[in-house]
Copies of this chain bind each other. A is one copy, B any other.
Amino acid sequence: MTSNEALTAIHAAWGVKESRQRGPRPGLSAERIVAAACELADAEGLGAVSMSRVAAALDTGAMSLYRHVPSKDHLLALMFDAMAGQAPVPVDGETWQDGIRRWASALRASYLRHSWAAQIPITGPPALPNQVHWMEAMLRSLSETGLPGTHKLGVLQLVAGYVHDDATMNVTIARRTGSGEDIGPHYAGLLRELADAQRFPALRGLVDEGVFDRADPPEEQFHFGLERIIAGVGSLLGTTKP
């Protein structure tokens, strides 16, 4: 795949230059391919998504896919964009803090519905339609802050990165345990075994305290970090109350 093909594929995702030309009517489309790939990932995880598996799901040949999607990598990027889905619409009168909370929670929910998304390699800045809409949504929520543009971008990156980390953790744990089984006690046991109290007093303090044995609900952990971020942004604005 050349960078021209990548650019062409990005334009295609935005619906640019969709005019019909010569040739047979396509039986396939990028949309159908992405949908089939996402269904496969939902059912069996990202590792199951190969060009031949996707093609089989569409009852077609693997090489046919390349007429519509320039590469496997690009298919993954399109899947990521599909996962993100529709960005939340900013609410009038809403505080920027609540805007961030709603935005982050909505994105987290998308990741939870399609946990494989967090495993997709990041290959560039947001360029596909849904992602760019998500950017817009956050930037609108930050409008009232009056922060300079670079800082708004910084906040966007901070929050988006945080949600992505949360999703990475969730999918990692799910893959390790297969189901909702708790990974904490196993990890605590391993740390007890390998990290002696002499060299690792602080860590062992937490282990012995049972912190890893009874983790907070994932939702709570998520909000803890998010509130740190929101408070941190607030401090930039001389805001004492988040």
Binds B, one of A58-66, A102-110, A144-152: A144-152
User: Which residue of chain B is the closest to A152 with respect to CB atoms?
Assistant: B206
For residue A230, CB closer than 8 A to chain B, the reply is yes
Whole-angstrom distance from the CB of A97 to the nearest CB of chain B? Answer: 12
- Chain B residues with Cβ below 8 Å from A165 are 157, 161, 164-165
For residue A40, CB closer than 8 A to chain B, the reply is no
Given contacts A194-B10, A202-B136, A209-B149, are A157 and B225 in contact (CB under 8 A)?
yes
- Chain B residues with Cβ below 8 Å from A14 are 194
User: Which residue of chain B is the closest to A127 with respect to CB atoms?
Assistant: B190
Whole-angstrom distance from the CB of A240 to the nearest CB of chain B? Answer: 8
- Chain B residues with Cβ below 8 Å from A135 are 203
Which positions 193-228 of chain A face chain B at CB distance < 8 Å? Answer: 194-195, 199-203, 205-206, 209, 211, 215-216, 221, 224-225, 227-228
- Chain B residues with Cβ below 8 Å from A133 are 200
Contact of B231 with A136 in the complex, beta carbons under 8 Å: no
Seed contacts A10-B194, A231-B236; 19 additional CB < 8 Å A-B pairs: A119-B121, A122-B168, A122-B172, A124-B172, A127-B187, A127-B194, A132-B191, A132-B195, A132-B203, A139-B202, A140-B202, A142-B202, A149-B206, A150-B216, A151-B224, A158-B228, A165-B165, A228-B236, A232-B233
CB within 8 Å of B: which residues of A? Answer: 10-11, 14, 16, 119, 121-125, 127, 129, 132-133, 135-136, 139-140, 142-143, 149-155, 157-158, 161-162, 164-165, 168-169, 172, 175-176, 183, 187, 190-191, 194-195, 199-203, 205-206, 209, 211, 215-216, 221, 224-225, 227-236, 242
